[in-house]
Each structure stands twice: as C-alpha cells, then as structure tokens.
Amino acid sequence: MHKTLGILTAIGLACASSAALADYPERSISLMVPFGAGGGTDVPARFFAAELEKILGQNIVVSNVEGAGGTVGATQLSREKADGYSLGFMPVGTTTTQPHLKRTKYNADSWVPICMVSQGPFYLVVKADSPIATIDDYIAQANGDGLKFAGAGPGSMAHVSQLTLDKKLGVTTQYIPTKGGGDIATEIDGGRADATTWFSDFDTKFGWRALAILDSKRSDQHPDVPTLAELGHDTQVSVWFGFFAPAGTPDGVVATLSSACGEAVATDSFKSNMAGANRLVRYMPSDEFTAFFKEAFDLNGQLLKEAGLIK
C-alpha cells in the first residue's frame, strides 16, 4: 500500500514538473544587458527582445546593469534563480575575457549558452596611404623597424586580436592602448600607430584599408578582402553577442528558449533592424554555441596569460 502510494506520488510530482515546463513561460522575463541603454550591446538586445516577446507570448523586460566591463551585471545574473525568468544578453568580452582579468565570481561554468545572436568579424586595417599593403608587408614591418598596433585598453577585444595575430603570424608588435573609438583613429591617422582591427565600417567611417578579415570566410560587405586563412594564417577573431541563462536552468526551459531564439533571428523584422544598425546576424544553436563559447573562454584566457596580463 505504502509502496503503491509512493509510486503514485512520484508519478504525480513528475507530471506536475512536466506540466510546469510545458507552461513556460507563465510570466514576464527579465533580459539583463550589462551595458548602458543605447549602447553597442543594448541595441541588438532590444531588437532580439522584441522578437522573443512575439514568439514566447510574454513581456521581455530589458534591464541595463552597467559597470566594470559588464561584470557587475553578469555577476548579478549568475546569482539569479535558474528558472528561465532571469536571462542575459552578453558579449564576448564580458563572458570570455573579463573573468580572467578581474577574477570574477562567475566563469565559463556559470552559464547555459542558449544561442549566438550576432557576430561581427574584425578586419586588420591600416591607413589608406600606408606603405603596408599586404600581410607580408605587415610581417616585414613587425620584424624590421617594428609595428605599432592601436586599440582600446589592455584586455580589450582589440588587444586580444593583436595578441592572436602576433601568435599566428610569428611576430611581436607594440600595443598602444587608448580609450577606444576616436582615440584609435587619432593614433592611426596621425601616424603614431600602424594598424588596428576594426569592424566592417572601417572604410566608410575612417577611410581605412583592410589587409584581411579575421574570419573563416569572406564577407559579402567586402568580398575583395581575403581571409587570413587564404593567406596561410587561419585566424578568427570577432565580437559576438549571445543569449545566456544561469547554470542549472532546466533542460526543458533551455530547449524552449533555444527554439525561440532560432525563430527570432530568422524573422524579417529582426534582420531588417540589425541591417539598419549595421549589425550582422549570426545564429548558433545551444550545443554549437556552448562548444564555441567554452573554446573562446579557454583561448582568450591563455592569450591574456601569455601576454602577462594575468598570473
């Protein structure tokens, strides 16, 4: 009698759990963005949230939690209940470099990567009238008189790209840290730095010239720019944005979110909004994104360690 009652109770609990997952989501979902409103991470996050609302049938409330390279918001999210109602839209730097640099309370095991949403590869660029016209010229300059590479602060993705290039090309270049953006342009255009890595608007925004794209394939935006792989140096560095849940989120919830993510990034409205903001859509489902994310976490940590930025 007691054994039968126990079995029935277990079945009842299992059914109740399944029903709860089947009903997910039953209320509004918070989507944390670890940077300010209107910024580079916030814009695609809001486009994404608008599509998820339609698909999931619940409000997606975007919350901006700024500070310390995105680590304030990421740390807060990592401590939230893993029930599918507290999620995050976070970039590569916050998730794969800052944990190494700042010894954050979160790491690669703190998340369930749900999907990649957007990815923008870096281009290796020089001033339009630079005597460095090819990758061979770049290597020769680095091995000869020396080459200065400008970027944002130490540990930034521009710095990671410089470290990656040095390793892949077998050279040593001098890194010139700046406050980013316009300061990088000032260094390049003023001749105090020879090169940097930038996004696809390198030509329209600054009039720079690209030597190569740091991706596995050529870009439709700049089809004449070769990949480094074509030139004998298989190197991929990009700025990407992903959709994350805290570790421990139920598999059924993750499956629902992953499916919704795939639908969201495929909508015409999302593609149109992203194109209008000069952003590239790049979708990876949960399993593929998880492997990609963990590899990036380990690789960036190793690069920063080799550069002496972490011990």
In three-state secondary structure terms, 252 is: helix
Q: Let me know how long the chain is.
A: 311
Q: What is the pLDDT of residues 292-305, one digit of tens each?
A: 999 999 999 999 99
Q: What is the pLDDT of residues 201-212, one digit of tens each?
A: 999 999 999 999
**Domain-embedded: residue 193:** yes
Strand partners, 281: 118
What residues make up the domain containing 137? 123-213
CB 199 within 8 A of CB 179: no
Q: pTM for the complete prediction?
A: 0.86
In a shared domain, residues 141 and 199: yes
pLDDT at 258 over 80: yes
DSSP state of 195: B
204 token code pair: 């329209």
In a shared domain, residues 280 and 204: no
> 42-56 and 268-276 are packed helices; what angle lies between their axes, rounded to 10 degrees?
170
In a shared domain, residues 110 and 243: yes
Q: What is the pLDDT of residues 89-99, one digit of tens each?
A: 999 999 999 99
Q: What is the CATH number of the domain that holds 78?
A: 3.40.190.150
**Domain-embedded: residue 223:** no
In a shared domain, residues 71 and 130: no
Mean pLDDT of 140-149: 97
**Domain-embedded: residue 139:** yes
Structural domain count, the chain:
2
pLDDT at 309 over 50: yes
In a shared domain, residues 151 and 112: no
In a shared domain, residues 114 and 135: no
In a shared domain, residues 189 and 43: no
Confidence of residue 22 (pLDDT cuts 50, 70, 90): low
**Domain-embedded: residue 155:** yes
Alpha-carbon gap, residue 117 to 42, rounded angstroms: 13
In a shared domain, residues 86 and 142: no
Alpha-carbon gap, residue 224 to 208, rounded angstroms: 14
